[in-house]
Amino acid sequence: MDRMIFLAMNAARQMLNGQAQAANNLANANTSGFKADFEAFRAMPLFGDGAPTRVFSMAERPGVNFQPGAIQQTGNELDVAINGEGFFAVQTPDGKEAYTRAGELHIDAAGQLLTAHGDQVLGNGGPIVLPPASTVLFGKDGTISIRPIGQEANTLAQVDRLKLVKPAVSDLLKSTDGLFRQKSGLPLDPDASVGVLNGALEGSNVNPVAEMMNMIENSRQYELAVKAMNTAQTVDADGARLLRL
């Protein structure tokens, strides 16, 4: 019975892992710029002393769905969406560079341009810090222009430019914070071919219906694994009773 219990127990555990991944995708169905994780299961032989007589399943994330989400017009001057391929470069709290498609930005009391999660948005010269302004405008090429407080409407000053990059998606790894990083760990150079749309946000590319179906399927498979464990327990108890006769 040990083989049956081992396989059923592992299957139940992997179903829970798959359920957590589907739930995370579903929870981010309305998160700007979020990229859904793919889910897959594969057979893994268990090697040890003797022949590999146990084969268990393993839930894993084989990749990320890099399809762009729908562009939503917001009219907010600090909302920016990538137009086509590319990413915004940000600086994480550990001082390293990471990449995102989420352009829901804001300015803190110190004038720092930050993402919704508090990461510093990078310009071509480092983290962007803006002087006090009544208006902030993003050009199609990522240039940042402001109208200083008290100046005329046609008085604009260019102060910085968003660092926009276009890495090969095969070179990126998605971290638990939802940001992407280079596998090499090295920062990327700006790419002038990447453009942005001002007053718009890119939505999540999660398909809520597909994720709900995944969760239902994982739940059913989990129930089957638990029933298999209960069956193994019953058979083991019946075998013990026969031995006592």
pLDDT, one tens digit per residue, over 140-155 is 999 999 988 877 777 7
Q: What is the pLDDT of residues 45-56, one digit of tens each?
A: 777 776 666 666
Q: Is residue 1's pLDDT more than 90?
A: no
186 and 122 in a single domain? The answer is yes
Cβ pair 49, 41 in contact under 8 A? no
230 and 161 in a single domain? The answer is no
Q: What percent of the chain has pLDDT over 70?
A: 90
112 and 186 in a single domain? The answer is yes
Show the tokens assigned to 237: 């108890």
DSSP assignment of 118-141: SPEEEETTEE-B---EEEEEE-TT
168 and 213 in a single domain? The answer is no
Among 38-47, 58-67, 170-179, 235-244, the range of highest mean pLDDT = 170-179
75 and 175 in a single domain? The answer is yes
CA–CA–CA angle 239, 51, 17 (5° rounding): 75
pLDDT at 235: 77
10 and 40 in a single domain? The answer is yes
Q: Is the CA virtual torsion 212, 213, 218, 224 positive or negative? A: positive
Count of domains in the chain? 2
pLDDT-derived band of residue 58, with 50, 70 and 90 as boundaries? low
Predicted TM-score (pTM) of this structure: 0.81
149 and 238 in a single domain? The answer is no
227 and 177 in a single domain? The answer is no
92 and 120 in a single domain? The answer is yes
**What are the φ/ψ torsions at residue 42 (nearest 5 degrees)?**
-140, 155
> Radius of gyration (Cα) for the chain, nearest Å?
25
Higher pLDDT, 239 or 200: 200
Cβ pair 205, 211 in contact under 8 A? no
For the chain, give the mean pLDDT.
87
85 and 169 in a single domain? The answer is yes
Residue with tokens 């004038």: 111
Give me the domain span that covers residue 17.
2-65+206-244
Q: What's the mean pLDDT in 159-165?
A: 95
